[in-house]
Amino acid sequence: MNGEEINNSQNSKKGSLSFADRYITAMFLPGEYESLLKLAVGKIITYIAFLVLLISLIQYGIPVMAAVAGYGGVRNYILKELPSFSLENGKFTVSEKLEKEEEDAGIYILVDTDKETFSKEDISSDMISAILISKNNIVTYNNLSGIGGFVQEQKFSEISNVTINNETVADMAPVIYFGLVMMYLLMYVITLIRYMFSALFYALILYIMSRIMAAKVSFAIIFKIALFAQTIGSIVSAVAYFIGTPVFVMAGSTFAMIVTVLIMNRAYFKIAPPPKPH
């Protein structure tokens, strides 16, 4: 077999990388990105679709499934873990007061059915968003930029013909499962969009640098590099997000940014090596 036939055989082999080899190359072998860039568009789309599936599962799917399984299912959680609640004859009652505040986000939630009604005066002015639930009404508040505080009220007396309690909600478990699936699909789409925009951002930065260096590498090639280069960083960032502590989330995001830039640079200069000094 002559040299040309050997090269053709190697190129053919690279162009038909196995599914696992694509991820191994993308994460650990930036010097061999040329083989990834030769993949057909359909294979690149499949690659990204599966990668985003993995990322969204780690970030959103697995925590929810673990929580549901840990409580023995949605129905068991509603009946045994949630406080007893009831909406009947236009009155809402909960067995215990619930209060949650996210200071960084400016979000406040309060459920206190010992209180007859809530009004705007019960909402702190420094809140961005608030939900207050009493025995007789729900008050929601949103501080819209440029408009000011926007308050809405829903009186339970307006739905006095409705009866809701732990048992009736638990009977809706199949609907809740369906809602969780729909929510996961939404998060998958959001994760995909975020991944593509991140690739676009990295690609734009490298493309501008390549123009400064007068390199003749198309934006399409650089964008493909960015798509593959984010692989390991995105997975590590998703794991950090899954762990959940702020330190891990920040560390994961920092790692993702640094390793993506390093991989892109290595892959780029393998394809378009810098000019040798004269």
CA 87 to CA 100: how far, in whole Å?
Answer: 21
Average pLDDT, the chain: 87
* Structure-token pair, residue 127: 């809140």
What integer pLDDT is reported at residue 145 of this predicted model?
52
Mean pLDDT of 190-198: 96
Contacts of 263 (CB under 8 A, 6+ apart): 30, 229, 232
What is the DSSP track for 16-62?
A: T--HHHHHHHHHH-GGGHHHHHTS-HHHHHHHHHHHHHHHHIIIIIH
What integer pLDDT is reported at residue 271 of this predicted model?
85
Contact in structure between 94 and 134 (CB atoms under 8 Å): no
Contact in structure between 264 and 202 (CB atoms under 8 Å): yes
CA distances from 64 to 69, 71, 102, 184, 193 (A): 9, 11, 21, 9, 21
What integer pLDDT is reported at residue 14 of this predicted model?
44
The one-letter amino acid code at 251 reads: A
Mean pLDDT of 79-90: 92
What integer pLDDT is reported at residue 49 of this predicted model?
97
Angle between helices 19-28 and 231-243 (to 10 degrees): 90
221-241 pLDDT, tens digit each: 999 999 999 999 999 999 999
What integer pLDDT is reported at residue 8 of this predicted model?
41
Residue 133, SS3 per DSSP? strand
What integer pLDDT is reported at residue 5 of this predicted model?
40
